[in-house]
A = this chain, B = another copy of it.
Amino acid sequence: MSPDLSPVEVSRDPRTGRSAPGPRATAPKELSELVAAAARDAAEVAATAPAERARRLAAVADALEERTEELAALADSETALGMERLRGEVGRAAAQLRFYGSVAAEGGWLDVRIDRAEATGVGELRRMNRPLGPVAVFGASNFPFAFGVAGHDTGSALAAGCPVLVKAHPAHPLLSARLGSVVSAALRRAGAPAGAFALVVGFEAGLALVDAPEVAAVAFTGSQSGGMALVERASRRPVPIPVFAEMGTVNPAVLTPSAASAGEDGEGTARAAEGFVASFTLGQGQYCTKPGLLLAPAGSGAAGAVAAALAEVRPGWLLTEGIAAAYRQGLEDLVKAGAEPAASVPAADGGFAASPTVLTAPAEALRAGSRLLEECFGPVALVVEYGDEAELRSVLGRLQPSLAAAVASAGADDPDLPWLVELLSRRAGRVVVDGWPTGVATSWAQQHGGPWPATSRPEATSVGAAALDRFTRPVAYQSVPPAALPEALRDDNPWGVPRRVDGVLEGADERRKA
């Protein structure tokens, strides 16, 4: 197929369903050239000092913020997420890029270790994490900026010294193309080589990225079916590569008996219900951290309280026609699997509208193989009552592991907190007490991941400082003379990175520079 005949992606307005022509799909020849450029420039990108990488990421952040109104409006036309949320998300994406730059510059992710010859008996050993090479990024539908073309995966891969090839998301192809131009231009102006970043468009181009011999890793955020398809495809390559797929499952929230009975007249339950509803309907329930299940004590009246809180929710539109159809089908399937509707808000008019809904089910319906244990993307949640601790333990043990889990407690002295936190920490990447999982901070201690099938790589995080680790591989240099060592490993430590010498961390205070 010649480039001129490549099909055009379609942009849809979720509020009306109307179509507009999107960007042209990347033709095979063009894709090969982009991948070759990434491979060609990988060594230069890897050798760039982390402080310089930070400056480049900050330049991209600035370029996004300068175009906040334009970008948010374009995103709103393709996602219906609303201008306020989207303006905020541009700022959030910019802050993330600056954060990953600061993490790169700090250098702890390089994990530099030096063992002197006397300690090893076979010569001096110096070890560091090296960038893997070109990374293919498949962003999410639901965060067009924070997990999009210039989102967490792109920011952390560039920070780790890897070229990035992003696939445009079919839920927002025009925004993807625009972001691709903005990021490319900002990186070039900041001195990055042409191969440091590229956008590709189209389903076939995405598959070709996963297959390209030059691509060293894949980062994906999205559905379980999409993620597992990429994992499977990458494992069949002549040289398999890792796929860091953040897929998500049902994130449980537990209301403890003490919390439910706090206050007067069901006050404790009502407060938890309000927080739960606000969290599971945020962004029309299109969060991978949505709390999709509330486990509440029998007799707490939680289902009624949640239903009451739902009445305050304004309906909206889902991101795509496919997500809206899957949502309607999911509601039907949940009912077939034994759930009962407790309350719903009438859907908005037109387009990909959805009706926010609360269902209830008996605890025994949550059993292996039931649809009730699977995620339903969109503004729906299930309220389930448990009789006692034994039943609660049993239900929690039957759930799929998850990205996050939450406990609404009666405070630090709640007698159920220690065992609940311990149990949930074995089944989730993040355990939240007296908060809701939908707020994901980009910080040093964040963990946005979880046991399979919440992610394909439970040891990894796609948010926070440790996100860089996904895109590196350690190498040990034995008795290598100074002139042949990478800069990060030299005795004079020109990158100013933390080091472990003969097993002892060098004093952090003297090491840190401006």
Q: Which residues on A are within 8 Å of B, measured CB to CB?
A: 43, 102-103, 106, 108, 111, 113-115, 119-123, 125-127, 130, 235, 239-240, 242, 411-413, 417-418, 420-422, 425-426, 428-435, 439-441, 443-447, 449, 451-453, 458-459, 461, 464-466, 472-486, 498, 500, 502-509, 512
Smallest CB gap from A509: residue in B: B507
Q: Please state if A503 and B418 are interface contacts (CB–CB under 8 Å).
A: no
12 intermolecular pairs with C-beta atoms under 8 Å apart: A108-B500, A122-B441, A125-B445, A127-B445, A239-B452, A413-B483, A422-B484, A425-B486, A428-B475, A429-B475, A433-B484, A447-B476
Smallest CB gap from A418: residue in B: B484
Closest Cβ of chain B to A123, distance in Å, is 5
CA distance A425 to B484 in the complex (A): 11
Partner of A240, one of B430, B452, B479: B452
Q: Please state if A474 and B461 are interface contacts (CB–CB under 8 Å).
A: yes
CA distance A299 to B503 in the complex (A): 44
Smallest CB gap from A453: residue in B: B239
CA distance A119 to B477 in the complex (A): 37
Q: Please state if A432 and B478 are interface contacts (CB–CB under 8 Å).
A: yes
Smallest CB gap from A132: residue in B: B458
Smallest CB gap from A441: residue in B: B120
Please indicate the chain B residues that have their CB under 8 angstroms from the CB of A106 in the complex.
Answer: 503
Q: Please state if A443 and B508 are interface contacts (CB–CB under 8 Å).
A: no
Please indicate the chain B residues that have their CB under 8 angstroms from the CB of A120 in the complex.
Answer: 441, 443, 445-446
Indicate the member of A102, A420, A458 with the most B CB atoms within 10 Å: A458
Closest Cβ of chain B to A276, distance in Å, is 16
Smallest CB gap from A427: residue in B: B475
Smallest CB gap from A456: residue in B: B240
Partner of A441, one of B115, B444, B464, B509: B115
Smallest CB gap from A114: residue in B: B445
Q: Please state if A439 and B484 are interface contacts (CB–CB under 8 Å).
A: no
Smallest CB gap from A415: residue in B: B483
Q: Which 4 A-B pairs have the closest CB atoms?
A: A412-B481, A447-B476, A120-B441, A505-B508
Please indicate the chain B residues that have their CB under 8 angstroms from the CB of A422 in the complex.
Answer: 43, 484, 486
Please indicate the chain B residues that have their CB under 8 angstroms from the CB of A486 in the complex.
Answer: 422, 425
Q: Please state if A122 and B435 are interface contacts (CB–CB under 8 Å).
A: yes
Q: Please state if A441 and B121 are interface contacts (CB–CB under 8 Å).
A: yes
Known contacts A115-B445, A447-B127: does B473 contact A459 (CB below 8 Å)? yes
Q: Please state if B477 and A421 are interface contacts (CB–CB under 8 Å).
A: yes
Closest Cβ of chain B to A100, distance in Å, is 12
Smallest CB gap from A106: residue in B: B503
Q: Please state if A472 and B459 are interface contacts (CB–CB under 8 Å).
A: yes
Please give 12 more A-B residue pairs, beta carbons under 8 A apart, in addition to A122-B439, A505-B508.
A119-B441, A120-B441, A121-B441, A122-B440, A122-B441, A127-B464, A127-B466, A425-B475, A433-B481, A434-B479, A445-B500, A447-B474
Known contacts A435-B479, A443-B115, A478-B432: does B498 contact A505 (CB below 8 Å)? yes
Please indicate the chain B residues that have their CB under 8 angstroms from the CB of A478 in the complex.
Answer: 430-433, 435
Partner of A476, one of B445, B453, B508: B445
Closest Cβ of chain B to A73, distance in Å, is 26
Please indicate the chain B residues that have their CB under 8 angstroms from the CB of A483 in the complex.
Answer: 412-413, 417-418
Known contacts A235-B235, A429-B474, A508-B505: does B479 contact A127 (CB below 8 Å)? no
Please indicate the chain B residues that have their CB under 8 angstroms from the CB of A239 in the complex.
Answer: 452-453
Q: Please state if B503 and A505 are interface contacts (CB–CB under 8 Å).
A: no
CA distance A67 to B412 in the complex (A): 52
Please indicate the chain B residues that have their CB under 8 angstroms from the CB of A509 in the complex.
Answer: 507
Smallest CB gap from A111: residue in B: B466
Please indicate the chain B residues that have their CB under 8 angstroms from the CB of A498 in the complex.
Answer: 505
Q: Please state if A447 and B428 are interface contacts (CB–CB under 8 Å).
A: no
